[in-house]
Amino acid sequence: MATEANEELLTCPFCDYREKNDYQMLLHVEVMHTEDGEESPFALKDELAASRQSQDQTAGASQSEPSGLPTPAQSEFVECPYHCGEQVPADELQFHTDFHVAENMANEDATVIDITNNFSTDISNAIRNHDQVLSEWQTPVKEKEKRWTSSIRDMFSTPRFKLVSPAGVKVKGNEVRRLDKAELGPYANERRMPSWLVRLLEDGAEVTVSNKIGHDGRIVKVEIISNETPNLIPVLARLSKLDRNISRAFYCDPAVRHVAKLPKEGGFCGYRNTQMLISYIRDAKAPGHEHFDKKRLPSILKLQDMIEEAWDQGYNTAGRKETGGIRMTRKYIGTPEAQALLLSLGINAEAQAFSAKDKVEAYRNLMEAVWNHFESGVEYSNTDKVVVTDKPPLYFQHRGHSLTIVGIELDVEERPNLVVFDPTYNPSQQLRRLALNNKLAFTTPTPGKLMKAHRRDERYLGRYKEFEMIKVNGPV
């Protein structure tokens, strides 16, 4: 019987996705593996278009089509077909699975060549493109408007986001209302997460110990945490240097770690991005580092306790009424909760909101602020294609998801890319191996393929009308 079951399982010819249902496999191929940039007939549009498409399909559907296939009109959240444990908003499914494909392609197809014996940090002029004019992106920061706010309450004096969670609360006057699934996710009304998930979070990621030769030639024991990747910033910076399509890039302090979610844990991205900020604070010994364990980042359950304690101390207290409390639940958290936690520890966490202004799209205002953050006060020359700074990473929120911004690139046509750590996706095995072994003497003919899962460009960001961001800096 087991053999017959395996024979019925279909495998995608382009990636490792598997599915029993013929129609779902066809849907996957049409959405994920379109040719020559053509738009798939199955591609998810915005909510209105998707609703109309669903109605049209229902009116003319044949009896042979499966009626249970989720569509934006039928289901607010859809389970990820790659079985990562995430419940994804229906109109986000295509982009979510796109990055799973990029993750798998980087694992299987990208070539990395060790050039330790003849490695040089010198980059040719052809790669540097140092004569490229960077126009507005090189305008000194002092000539630009500084929009950072000192309090998230100031940021929320204007209407909040429609769907972002839970930073996107709709407020009428001073009224604070309880949020629902649109802001807190599919488990907004769940009183307590399942016991199996509690055990998973209590146990945490697997920790292994290996012996390595230190700089002094002695053997040292090194702990490797399965969902944490230190030293990834220098690897990504190297890829930016190797990419001929990139003219300039800035990166944050290398102390920040990529922290991925555990298999099947679901939508805890707000907590994982908070852990990434804490990893920078701790390992860079930034103000507030004394509050955190030197070896272990606070767990999700611990972060929930810390946020509740921050509310007790009076920081962003509306969050408790809006969420109904978060301890031992799977409710999404957002910018107010992350900021409250940091402020309660005396860490200066400044918030900024972005929307369209003077006919300039929100994502352009966002890109300008990120560029200013990494570029301001940094000494570099026109021949420095990639600059790794000591600036902190940025907590970043858009509708339904949060990430950590660790850098920004400008391509040869002056189009910016955010470089991010996304907790939903693990770094590719090749990049993780390079980072853990501190290997920077490498080259690759396909740097763009290895970088794809870490880039968020205008196409991705242009779908959103509002953004939020937190940066940490000096003491309060």
Domains of the chain: 2-108 (no CATH), 138-188+228-475 (3.90.70.130)
Q: Residue 144 burial by CB count (10 A; 0-12/13-18/19+): exposed, middle or buried?
A: middle
pLDDT for 173:
43
Q: What is the pLDDT along the chain (476 residues), one digit of tens a residue?
A: 444 444 466 777 666 666 666 655 665 555 555 544 444 443 433 433 443 344 344 333 333 333 333 333 334 777 766 656 667 666 666 666 655 555 555 555 567 887 765 444 443 333 323 333 333 333 333 333 333 333 333 333 332 332 233 333 333 345 678 898 888 988 999 999 999 999 999 999 999 998 877 777 788 888 999 999 999 999 999 999 999 999 999 999 999 999 999 988 988 999 999 999 999 999 999 999 999 999 999 999 999 999 999 999 999 999 999 999 999 999 999 999 999 999 999 999 999 999 998 889 999 999 999 999 999 999 999 889 999 999 999 999 998 899 999 999 999 999 999 999 999 988 999 999 999 998 899 999 999 999 999 999 999 999 999 999 999 984 44
- Inter-residue contact 465 to 340 (CB < 8 Å): no
Give the single-character DSSP code of 419: E
Determine the Cα–Cα distance for residues 288 and 284; give it in Å rounded to an integer: 10
Q: Which of 475, 286, 468 is nearest to 395 (CA)?
A: 468
Reading phi first (left if > 0) and then psi (alpha if -120 to 50, else beta), residue 239 is in alpha
- Inter-residue contact 456 to 420 (CB < 8 Å): yes
pLDDT for 167:
38
Q: CB 122: neighbour CB atoms within 10 A?
A: 6
Q: Which of 226, 235, 247 is nearest to 110 (CA)?
A: 235
- The Cβ-side half-sphere exposure at 114, using a 13 Å CA radius, reads 8
pLDDT for 103:
56
pLDDT for 165:
34
Sequence-ordered strand ranges (E) for 30-188:
77-79, 87-89, 113-114
